[in-house]
Structure 1
Amino acid sequence: MRLFSRSGEKSGLLGNRHWPDYRPFMIHKNIVLMSIKFTDAVRQALWDEMKHDPSVLVIGEGVPDPKGIFGTTLGLQEHFGKSRVFDMPLSENGMTGACLGLALRGYRPVLIHQRIDFSLLAMDQMVNHIAKWRYMFAGQQHVPLVIRMIIGKGWGQGPQHSQALWGMLAQVPGLKVVLPASAAEAYAMLRLGIRDSDPVIFVEHRWQHHTLSNKSSLENWHQRDLKQASIVHSGDDVTLCGWGYSVLECHNAAHALEKVGIRSEVVNLRIGHRLDTDLLLESINKTKNLVVHDLHPEQLTPAHSVVSKLFQLLGDEQRKKVKMRVVAQPNHPVPTSWHLAQHSYAEAPQIIEAALALLGRLDLLTTALSFLSRPSRPDAPNQDFCGPF
């Protein structure tokens, strides 16, 4: 079963790119009762797959800890036992190799790195072994392994605990990189990833953990088309796109731009290892303007690959009409001090500025920025932004 294809073929799953769970809403008691947090959706996906398949294992530093990796593994060991849910030593390379062996022996391990930075110690296992195993054995052996990696800046994480890095893995043939933008997507992508016969890198941002989705949007998870991008917010003036948490920042920017009469189309790219060019071309042919947001440092960021790919696919006349910009992070490490780190974030304000620059309407910048919902400190999650999914 291969559910996250690297090829460009159309999916055999549900083909609707406009998901019903993408709706902004104000948080009140009734909404909360009908909603599920991102962390709870991840935990529920692990629970449901472990109940469905006894070969599923959950392994990681801090898995049985009282905090349960931001709450995503709470109660799993108590229910499924220490033989299926267990801690691991500070030996990322060795444990990743052990999970490769488990996968080859018929298990479906879920390996969790609380920081994607820690996974650098296991690059040899991921890049030279896990990614290439199926190819080297002519498809006779598969590696059904999910590696959860948590990214995100803030709270004084500093230069060694705040990097994105998933772009390095997305360019490795044999690895499938998925970045859910909502709790509903996290639930579906994690369950589909665990059932996939090939290795899946599941990337989540810490600032997504408090965001909500409607509980009903978790239904029919197996029918969802997660190979293609989706339109989160429709518009015809400018296209904003990104992966995972970037989609929330684009959506936040779109609502502020809407207040000043700019209609933005927000595209959730979803998959890091391949690009849904059909939907993006359809969007930019309509809007003629594109802003790509990325959590990597600007130099050689995956966003530049998006711009380059689209530029190659556009015709000569289209290239004269379409304008594109990348909004990424500065090319330097993130400071630990929040007084300094507040200048290290390129998010909704910078997306708005880039969009208005493309449209020649920078005169609207101050007004548009006044409509943004932002945290008082730039290194803390925006708790007011609990939607839009």
Structure 2
Amino acid sequence: MILPPQHPLSAGLTTDSRLVRAYRGERADTTPVWFMRQAGRSLPEYRDLRVGTRMLDACLDPAMAAEITLQPVRRHGVDAGIFFSDIVVPLKLVGVDVEIQPGRGPVFGRRYDDAAAIAELTAIDPAGLDAAAAPITEAVQRTVAELNETAPAGRETGSTPLIGFAGAPFTLAAYLAEGGPSKDHLAARTLMHADPGAWAALMHWTAELTGRFLRTQVLAGASAAQLFDSWAGALSLDDYERHVAPASARALSFVHDLAYGTGVAAGEPDAAGSDAATQTVPVVHFGVGTGELLGAMRGVGADAVGVDYRIPLDVAAARVGAGVPLQGNLDPALLAAPWAVLEAAVRDVLRRGQAAPAHVFNLGHGVPPETDPTVLTRVVELVHEAGA
């Protein structure tokens, strides 16, 4: 499917942005940078805006979600916005009983850890998300419209892309099986072996739902998509490849057919018999503690791979294989270190990122809420200077 002409990629607004070029494996004038969890948490303007509003209510308020997404772009001059939402939003939209408890995370009305509970859950049609996703579409459209009207210093108006995001099927399934957060995700790992049929049904359902959530954001104007697998690091490589990777591949398939360029569908020849001018929307896949899974995570259909802080980027480059752009991977703890220590670490990440054909500087996990925002701004300036 070709994206509509007004989409930032089809209109040529973000196609040559630092971020999109990096995800395609090209290096631009400098290394692009954005931060996971940059939208919110550490920003005082975010905390002021959120007073009296619960997390999921904020996610489903289009004006608020757009404003929160834009705040770090304005303040830090990052090379991309990351859509402000939560991985359980699609679950909420289709009627699953879930709330985000401050200090704890997503908590469900029940556990989905046996065949009967999973049968009840999967009786909900994931396609129902399409009809319920109007707040997401509006929020993305608002954000993109604002990005099209403003630009950080030295950048063309409209050239800052928005990244859509969704939780990977395993991470959603881990929360559902446990009924909330878990340190070891034992319920999910037990279910995949004790009842493979129920596990497969749960994974297929979460893949369909989160894939549609990601597709909604791209159709509304996001120029790239990231799949977050927060808890995949709890798995062995064999369990990931056998019980998880097919579902992640299915989730990403909802984006893979979205293309921009010549006006023909991805993979179909144009009038001249070539499809070289057609590009698909870039996809990046990130997981926490997934150093042993990086190659398999790339294999589910990712154009670029996000790397957490536990493994150096040059080592990660060897594990994902030749020609794969990388994203990452400064340890968030270093944001509170003395500037000399932090600067050396940033430069080291940039140096190791040269092992990949292209590199998007990021953290190896999310921004800690107590981070001084001026430090993030200073890191952006350093990356742009040192990564030139």
Normalised-by-shorter TM-score class: 0.3 to 0.5
TM-score (norm 2): 0.32
More strand by percentage: 1
More helix by percentage: 2
Indicate the structure whose relative CO is greater, using CA pairs within 8 Å and at least 6 residues apart. Answer: 2
